[in-house]
Amino acid sequence: MRLVLCWFSEFGLTEKLRLPRDIKSPIILQVSQGGSAYYAGKGLANDKQQASIAGAIAAALHIRAVSKAYGV
């Protein structure tokens, strides 16, 4: 089994779900603090990391929901 580490950028979160499907192997998606805040939206303050936390949770829920459609 291969394990591949992918990182989240502002673009292509859903695109990363093609990789485990295509290589038939699990991957780890890493979401950075800045990427998480970006995912939450620029309208949220991040002075107490609230945007980063909300964005990371939103990204995880998005990945969980959409990954089923990709069969991973």
Q: What is the pLDDT of residues 60-72, one digit of tens each?
A: 898 888 888 888 8
Give the residue ranges of the chain where pLDDT is below 70.
1-11
Query: Given CA atoms 49, 54, 55, 59 in this order, what sign does their dihedral have?
Result: positive
Cα 18 off chain centre by: 13
Which of 65, 33, 23, 56 lies closest to 5 in space, CA to CA?
Answer: 23
Neighbours of 50 (CB within 10 A): 13
**Phi-psi category of residue 57: left, alpha or beta, with phi > 0 → left and psi -120 to 50 → alpha:** alpha
Question: Global pTM?
Answer: 0.77
